[in-house]
A and B are shown apart, each in its own frame.
Chain A
Amino acid sequence: MTEIWQGLVRAIELIVTLDAEVIEITWRSLTISVIATVLASVLCLPLGALVHFRRFRGKRLLISLVQTLYSVPTVVIGLLVFILLSRSGPLGGLNLLFTPAAMVVGQVVLIIPILLGLTISALSSVDRTIADTARSLGASGPQTAVLVLTEARFAVTAAVIMAFGRAISEVGIAIMVGGNIRGFTRVLTTAISLETSRGDVELSMALGLILLLIALAVNLTLNRIQR
């Protein structure tokens, strides 16, 4: 028990005194996951609208596939991105393996299904008459899409926040394609994983607390939006 208490006290100390390493790792985690979330959103919001509004063969199948991929294991994506980005892989020339950019790529791949799927279901819950009315009043396709997206903005924002939550809390991709390099690709989750196994429980606890605080903030925002 004493270890836990001492660890907790030290952890809070590290956070309150704005320990340089703790701040750096937190900042890096936030940056990478925010960028991944923004990139995936820019891609998935219009794509989700496209899938929602177009009628095409295999649409149901596509949506089921996307929903199945919600729970794809992060280590599988880690492996996939590793093979792609390794210098002896097809995208090796980009020289991206073991960089924060590789982690962004992995996280984007991870959250695309969630964002796409939740965007489609958010749009489906918007009253059809709104789109019909807009079209009959002469709105163009993209204009109608923006209108319906705005109607569904709460559900869409919730999707974006959930995707961010998934991105920042994953560890498989970060460790496999980031490499957990100190001062470069070490983020909250990989630092906790390494430091705990190496016996540095205090730093792990401080970083764990921060991760919990971020999760809390994400959930509070979600609750506010969904109310």
Chain B
Amino acid sequence: MALKHIRKGRTLLAGILLIIVLASTVLTGCGAETPVLEPKARLKLATTTSLYDTGLWGHLETLFEKKYGVELDILYAGTGKALELGRRGDVDVLAVHDLPSEERFIADGYGVKRVPFAYNYFIIVGPSADPAGIKGLSPEAAFIKVKETSGAFVSRGDDSGTHAKEKAIWKAAGLDYEMVRQSGQWYIEAGSGMGPTLMMASEKRAYTLTDIGTFLAYKGKLDLVPLVDKGETLLNVYAAIAVNPEKVKGVNYDMANNLIGFLTSTGIQKLIGDYGVKEYGTPLFSAYSDEVEQ
């Protein structure tokens, strides 16, 4: 009896060993269609959520991977988180949109160079009934009005580029952001990406600040309309930054530069400028030219 059990125990052990062997073949990719671990070269990109939620990266990813024979791993992170991942060395290259924090990142030595590759505009959207009556106002006046009427406002609240722009508008409106943040339940901090924040604003019949690209890509799912779309502060420039290998050890600098070269190449610039025409009837981004920021 005891012996029989010991033998059974051995069969169990053999079974476990077999599973390990099988698992390791899956890990190394032999015989599996979607191997979990591959020896193939990888490039890690942290991208602002708006570029991701518009589907632009899904569109560019395969093209880049084919051209350079590399796996592009795209992490969905607001600008603040993306820059932090860069500082920690957990990604090789960033696609972000907050000029002041980009400049700080480079001044601190973490980034080599800021290379703009696309732009569009921010807009303020809200329910079509527009209870706060902000339609056609300047962004600053609109923000003040939303606050005064306690119309619900959904903030990204995630240190993203859009969140930074929102703070800048509050400041330009002469209000202290911390004070705004603490001033009541009308101010909702979502703590998530652009797409999810738009979904939340729509559910809550609230106002929010969004880039026009993500709004257009999500329009069909939303009960929101553009209300404010004019104002100098609303320019939104997307830039790519390679993480500096001299400051942060182990990053894939060469491939990061390949990605930046790819994004600014004539063919891809044209593609970015045309992106969205087919699906949404209008382009979501404009190709970058040097005049934009002047």
Contact = CB atoms under 8 A, between A and B. Distances in A.
19 contacts: A31-B23, A34-B23, A35-B23, A35-B27, A38-B20, A38-B23, A42-B16, A42-B20, A101-B27, A134-B2, A153-B12, A179-B75, A180-B75, A180-B76, A181-B73, A182-B74, A197-B196, A198-B193, A199-B221
A143 B6 contact: yes
B193 A101 contact: no
A92 B250 CA distance: 9
B36 A181 contact: no
B173 interface: no
Contacts of B9: 146-147, 149-150
Given A87-B250, A180-B76, A197-B193, 9 more contacts: A24-B34, A31-B23, A31-B26, A87-B251, A88-B87, A146-B6, A183-B34, A199-B199, A199-B221
Closest 6 pairs between A and B when the two form their complex, measured CB to CB: A87-B89, A197-B196, A146-B9, A198-B195, A150-B5, A100-B36
B19 A34 contact: yes
A80 B171 CA distance: 37
B74 A198 contact: no
A32 interface: yes
Contact of A137 (B2, B19, B89): B2
A153 B4 CA distance: 14
A206 B71 CA distance: 27
Interface in B14-50: 16, 19-20, 23, 26-27, 32-34, 36-37, 44
B122 interface: no
A110 interface: no
Interface string A33-75: 0110010011000000000000000000000000000000000
A180 to B, nearest CB: 7
A76 interface: no
A86 interface: yes
B88 interface: yes
Contacts of A137: 2
A179 B199 contact: no
A7 B142 CA distance: 37
A184 B43 CA distance: 12
Nearest to A37: B19
Contacts of A184: 71, 73
Interface size for chain B: under 10, 10 to 19, 20 to 34, or 35 or more residues?
A: 35 or more
A139 B2 contact: yes
Contacts, number: 103
Contact of B8 (A95, A101, A150, A185): A150
Nearest to B46: A179
Interface of B: 2, 5-6, 8-10, 12, 16, 19-20, 23, 26-27, 32-34, 36-37, 44, 53, 58, 71, 73-76, 87-90, 192-193, 195-196, 199, 218, 221, 248-251
Given A147-B6, A181-B73, A199-B195, A98 B23 contact: no
Interface in A96-143: 97-101, 133-134, 137, 139, 143
Contact of A100 (B37, B192, B248): B37
Contact of A150 (B6, B20, B196): B6
A151 interface: yes
Nearest to B11: A150
Contact of B34 (A28, A42, A134, A153): A28
A181 B16 contact: no
Given A42-B16, A146-B9, A86 B88 contact: yes
A12 interface: no
Contacts of B195: 197-199
A99 B35 CA distance: 12
A197 B198 CA distance: 10
B248 A87 contact: yes
Contacts of B88: 86-88
Given A34-B19, A42-B20, A147-B6, A87 B53 contact: no
A194 interface: yes
A38 B16 contact: yes
A145 to B, nearest CB: 9
Contacts of B5: 146-147, 150-151
B148 to A, nearest CB: 30
Nearest to B45: A181
B20 A197 contact: no
Contacts of B76: 179-180, 194
B74 A181 contact: yes
Contacts of A147: 2, 5-6, 9
A88 B6 contact: no
A62 to B, nearest CB: 25
B34 A27 contact: yes
Contact of B44 (A32, A98, A183): A98
